[in-house]
Amino acid sequence: MGSRLWFRPKLYFCTMQNNEEKFKKVIAHAKEYGFVFQSSEIYDGLSAVYDYAQNGAELKKNVKEYWWKAMVQMHENIVGIDSAIFMHPTIWKASGHVDAFNDPLIDNKDSKKRYRADVLVEDHVAKIEAKINKEVEKAQNRFGDTFDKEQFLSTNARVLEYKAKMDEISHRLYKGMSDGNLEDIKQLIIDLEIACPISGTKSWTDVRQFNLMFSTQMGSTAEGANEIYLRPETAQGIFVNYLNVQKTGRMKIPFGIAQIGKAFRNEIVARQFIFRMREFEQMEMQFFVRPGEELQWYEYWKETRMKWHLSLGMGQENYRFHNHEKLAHYANAAADIEFNFPFGFKELEGIHSRTDFDLTAHEKFSGKKLRYFDPELNESYVPYVVETSIGLDRMFLSILTHSYNEEKLDDGSERVVLRIPAVLAPYKVAILPLMKKDGLAEKAREIMDVLKVDFMCQYEEKDAIGKRYRRQDAIGTPYCITVDHQTLEDNTVTIRDRDTMEQQRVAVNELHSMIYNKIRS
Ligand code: GAP
């Protein structure tokens, strides 16, 4: 078994984008407008742990529903479960997490700072890639419209040299990781002359393995207590329940089990806001298939999951597959769906053909048969599994970073607008009486009482209407309904579109179906 079971090498590295400024603004906006708060903030926070605030909790709930609907509601052969976070400790022995869910750590002796050794190397490679990007930029400026980027990348001597260097480092890192050769990973850091970003020195300790699972004690007395773990993935809760679900649900292969839930990892390099957290949520689905049919299903799920992402309309150019060239020992195919975050293309979702590794291991460790009797083949076998696994918090981050826009308006003013896909927006509608008096507030409340049964609505009567529009833009509310004096005369209102800012006069009794259709489309 390799040193880090889940280490997945990237044989190329993400394009570094200089979007740092924008990312900082998104993080500040997330706090200012009630999406995400640092956990335990009044105690100076807890590193890599975050709380979802009033608008964030709504957005997160909507993402879960959107996923659940696509995976469970729309597939007759997929059902959902909600398994416990605490599980029998032997499960994590069987899955390989106890022995191999490790990160290689290294300390700088001067700054006393701890790093993930593989990340230090990856960051070094990213710097080389930044040099390639610089070369491209320079050539682009020099040659203008006649510049052929593909040709330049495949022929320019300096670029080829950089690429070869990147490949060499990546292969050496991968080999060290999969052989568990910690000495060579340290040697690689020394050979590359990587210095600590804090102290600037190259005085490193040896590399050692660090298990990412959080453990705690279950039981009241020290002698009787068992060491158990907070689950590092939700998938194992599905594996150990698969036969119960199959039997009680009379499921026939191929079938799937989906689950949304918390997972915990003691991440050492916790950075990039909610991209890498110690407590996070996963939306996972294990699809049980006949042995030999797994690769066909793997292709099906790759395509299906990519379509799901694209259905949100956040731009095809912002997604790409990264097919794993080297595979973890339990997989016979694996790919990531990467999203173009402000810090470059990074993993958003994983699709893995996990063979029969997990179920066979649980058979062995539990001593229980986990075979499925296939009535069509008249035989029993351990099913193969194709997994789709997406981080809910990463999905949230992709939406937040993509939807954040600063715009200059025709009248010279500026606005910050979150162009969140309407189906996911925390509030669908804001109801705004032009003024409190003359019965406008009462009429607005009347409209709100009807709409709030089916849509998350916000009622606002404070401040000028323009200011209220800006507040709704900033939290991504797709529609604002304004109640004015004409409403009292002919029962019509104006409905303003967040993205186009266009206003339309519509009858109050048409509002419900209009909003419903807009949100669904
Ligand atoms: N059951 C397979 C599994 O857990 P993974 O690639 O380790 O595979 C799946 O994790 C997804 O979970 C990732 O694609 C990512 O979106 C999310 N994820 C993993 N670690 C995370 C962390 N520390 N913080 C936030 N999301 C994380």
Give pLDDT tens digits for 390-419.
Answer: 999 999 999 999 999 999 998 899 999 999
Q: How far is the CA of 280 from the centre of ligand 1 (A)?
A: 9
In angstroms, the CA 77 to CA 238 distance is 15
The residue whose CA has the least distance to atom 6 of ligand 1 is 350
Give pLDDT tens digits for 188-247.
Answer: 999 999 999 999 999 999 999 999 999 999 987 666 678 999 999 999 999 999 999 999
Percent of the chain with pLDDT over 70: 95
Is 238 a pocket residue for ligand 1 (Cβ < 6 Å)?
A: no
Is 351 a pocket residue for ligand 1 (Cβ < 6 Å)?
A: no
Give pLDDT tens digits for 477-493.
Answer: 999 999 999 999 999 99
**Which atom, in ligand 1's list, is nearest to the CA of 265?**
23
Q: Are residues 204 and 265 in the same domain?
A: no
Domain C-terminal end among 400, 419, 438: 419
pLDDT band at 9 (very low <50, low <70, confident <90, very high): very low
Q: Residue 5's pLDDT is what?
A: 41
Q: Are residues 163 and 245 in the same domain?
A: no
Q: Are residues 27 and 123 in the same domain?
A: no
Is 393 a pocket residue for ligand 1 (Cβ < 6 Å)?
A: yes
Is 350 a pocket residue for ligand 1 (Cβ < 6 Å)?
A: yes
CATH of the domain at 140: 3.30.40.230
Number of H helices, E strands in the chain: 17, 23
- Smallest CA-to-CA distance from 428 within 494, 480, 499 is with 480
Q: Are residues 126 and 79 in the same domain?
A: no
Q: Are residues 316 and 346 in the same domain?
A: yes
Q: How far is the CA of 184 from the centre of ligand 1 (A)?
A: 27
Domain C-terminal end among 188, 211, 234: 211
Look at 249 and 133; give whichever has higher pLDDT: 249
For the chain, the domain total comes to 3
pLDDT band at 174 (very low <50, low <70, confident <90, very high): confident
Mean pLDDT of the chain: 93
Q: Give mean pLDDT, residues 378-397.
A: 98
Is 392 a pocket residue for ligand 1 (Cβ < 6 Å)?
A: no
Is 362 a pocket residue for ligand 1 (Cβ < 6 Å)?
A: no
Half-sphere exposure of 315 (CA within 13 A, CB side): 13
**Which atom, in ligand 1's list, is nearest to the CA of 267?**
23
DSSP state of 77: T
The residue whose CA has the least distance to atom 10 of ligand 1 is 389
pLDDT of residue 16 exceeding 60, the answer is: no
**Which atom, in ligand 1's list, is nearest to the CA of 336?**
14
Percent of the chain with pLDDT over 90: 86
Is 322 a pocket residue for ligand 1 (Cβ < 6 Å)?
A: no
pLDDT band at 362 (very low <50, low <70, confident <90, very high): very high
Q: Are residues 121 and 248 in the same domain?
A: no
Give pLDDT tens digits for 127-141.
Answer: 999 899 899 999 999
Q: How far is the CA of 469 from the centre of ligand 1 (A)?
A: 37
Q: How far is the CA of 417 from the centre of ligand 1 (A)?
A: 29
**Which atom, in ligand 1's list, is nearest to the CA of 6?**
7
* Residue whose structure tokens are 């700088």: 108
Q: How far is the CA of 238 from the centre of ligand 1 (A)?
A: 16
Answer whether residue 93 is part of any domain: no
DSSP string, 35-46: SEEETTGGGT--
In angstroms, the CA 424 to CA 426 distance is 6
3-state secondary structure of 12: coil
Choose which residue among 4, 238, 262, 280 to substitute to test ligand 1 binding: the one with the highest number of ligand atoms within 8 A of its C-beta. 280
Q: Which residues of 461-477 are buried (b: 16+ CB within 10 A; e: fewer)?
A: beeebeebbbbbbbbbb
Q: Are residues 271 and 376 in the same domain?
A: yes
Q: What is the strand order of the sheet 208-211 is part of?
A: 114-116, 102-107, 208-211
Tell me the one-letter amino acid at 202: K
pLDDT band at 33 (very low <50, low <70, confident <90, very high): very high
Beta-strand ranges (E) seen in 48-141 are 50-52, 78-81, 102-107, 114-116
Q: Which residues of 8-18 are buried (b: 16+ CB within 10 A; e: fewer)?
A: bbbeebbebbe
Q: Residue 304's pLDDT is what?
A: 98
In angstroms, the CA 492 to CA 490 distance is 6
Q: How far is the CA of 350 from the centre of ligand 1 (A)?
A: 8
Answer whether residue 218 is part of any domain: no
Q: How far is the CA of 281 from the centre of ligand 1 (A)?
A: 8
Structure tokens at 39: 């956990």
Is 282 a pocket residue for ligand 1 (Cβ < 6 Å)?
A: yes
pLDDT of residue 6 exceeding 50, the answer is: no
Q: Residue 190's pLDDT is what?
A: 96
Is 386 a pocket residue for ligand 1 (Cβ < 6 Å)?
A: no
Q: Give mean pLDDT, residues 366-379.
A: 97
Q: Are residues 358 and 482 in the same domain?
A: no
Q: Are residues 309 and 449 in the same domain?
A: no
Residues 6 or more apart in contact with residue 389 via CB below 8 angstroms? 233, 235, 282, 283, 284, 285, 349, 350, 351, 352
Choose which residue among 36, 266, 273, 282 to substitute to test ligand 1 binding: the one with the highest number of ligand atoms within 8 A of its C-beta. 282
Domain C-terminal end among 211, 244, 262: 211
Containing domain of residue 463, as a range?
427-520
Is 232 a pocket residue for ligand 1 (Cβ < 6 Å)?
A: no
Is 277 a pocket residue for ligand 1 (Cβ < 6 Å)?
A: yes
Q: Residue 3's pLDDT is what?
A: 35
Answer whether residue 265 is part of any domain: yes
Q: Are residues 301 and 414 in the same domain?
A: yes
In angstroms, the CA 49 to CA 362 distance is 32
Q: Are residues 199 and 287 in the same domain?
A: no
pLDDT of residue 1 exceeding 50, the answer is: no
Q: Which residues of 268-285 are buried (b: 16+ CB within 10 A; e: fewer)?
A: bbeebbbbbbbbbbbbbb
Kindly calculate the radius of gyration of the chain based on its CA atoms and give it in whole angstroms.
Answer: 26
Tell me the one-letter amino acid at 410: D
Answer whether residue 134 is part of any domain: yes
CATH of the domain at 288: 3.30.930.10
pLDDT of residue 461 exceeding 70, the answer is: yes
Answer whether residue 94 is part of any domain: no
Q: Give mean pLDDT, residues 244-268.
A: 97
Is 389 a pocket residue for ligand 1 (Cβ < 6 Å)?
A: yes
Q: How far is the CA of 264 from the centre of ligand 1 (A)?
A: 10
pLDDT of residue 13 exceeding 50, the answer is: no
The residue whose CA has the least distance to atom 27 of ligand 1 is 391
Answer whether residue 3 is part of any domain: no
Answer whether residue 220 is part of any domain: no
Q: Residue 223's pLDDT is what?
A: 66
Q: How far is the CA of 252 from the centre of ligand 1 (A)?
A: 29
* Preceding omega of 254 cis (within 30 degrees of 0): yes
In angstroms, the CA 381 to CA 402 distance is 45
Q: Are residues 273 and 342 in the same domain?
A: yes
Beta-strand ranges (E) seen in 246-332 are 255-264, 279-289, 319-323
Query: Is 94:366 a contact under the CB 8 Å cutoff?
Result: yes
The residue whose CA has the least distance to atom 7 of ligand 1 is 6
**Which atom, in ligand 1's list, is nearest to the CA of 348?**
16
* Residue whose structure tokens are 């048969």: 369
In angstroms, the CA 455 to CA 347 distance is 32
Helix axes 392-403, 20-32, angle to 10 degrees: 110
**Which atom, in ligand 1's list, is nearest to the CA of 278?**
23
Answer whether residue 236 is part of any domain: yes
Tell me the one-letter amino acid at 309: H
Structure tokens at 163: 């690429």
